[in-house]
Amino acid sequence: MTSIPALELTAGLRSGNSTAPRLTWYGPDSERVELSGRVLDNWVAKTSNLLQDELDAEPGMRLRLALPAHWKALVWALAGWQLGLETVLDGAQADFLATDNPAGSDGNYDAVVAVALPALAMRWSGDLPAGCLDYAAEVRSHGDVFMPHADPDPSARAVLTSQGRSVLHQDLITGFAVPHAEGARLHVPADAGLEAVLANALGAWHQGGSVVLTHPDVPLTDKLVADERIHGS
């Protein structure tokens, strides 16, 4: 099987100290979600399997993330990358759309997936447009281990940055991720935007670190810094 950095990263999440926190989310209304490496990899695997087995996603196809900087958006990006998809972060056309606003989706897609953002959501609240897939209701039925049906192409594009720069799958860490110190417990504010959050998270995880992601309405207090042991850069 061809290896790409995203596959190596998810393998690292489930090996070594896989029970240590890798992603902690602080959302509105006192919401706090903590994912260990093993749990994060589990979410990513289930999402990749949903894409591959239910939506017939294949390497080289395009996945648009019309999502805010949120822990579920990071799961979706990793899932697409380890499958060999190109992650689209702007309004460009794509094969698949993952969105928290399916009623406002534009363009033609092979599939539209509604992503409910509340951590405990078991299904989308309210009505969905015809043909729209409910991520919360469907993802849990998919396998905990991802086995790709086709090898990803390391020389295919993984992401197009906001500066218009193409980054290939093989260069995802060296050409897109922001370098961070080994083992950093990194704070990343969601209001930095999804691209910046993804780049910083990849850089931290690549060095065995972890990420504390905070919603724009959540202030970074001294207590939060101390409680989460935020350190490094």
- Cα–Cα distance for residue pair 104/111, rounded to 1 Å: 14
Model pTM?
0.97
The domains found in the chain, sorted by start residue, are 5-228 (3.40.50.12780)
- Cα–Cα distance for residue pair 100/91, rounded to 1 Å: 14
- Cα–Cα distance for residue pair 165/174, rounded to 1 Å: 13
- Cα–Cα distance for residue pair 42/145, rounded to 1 Å: 7
Per-residue pLDDT of the chain (233 residues; tens, 9 = 90+): 678 999 999 999 988 779 999 999 999 989 999 999 999 999 999 999 999 999 999 999 999 999 999 999 999 999 999 999 999 998 889 999 999 999 988 878 999 999 999 988 999 998 999 999 999 999 999 999 999 999 999 999 999 998 888 999 999 999 999 999 999 999 999 999 999 999 999 999 999 999 999 999 999 999 999 999 999 87
Q: Is-contact 50 142, C-beta < 8 A?
A: yes
Q: Is-contact 204 198, C-beta < 8 A?
A: no
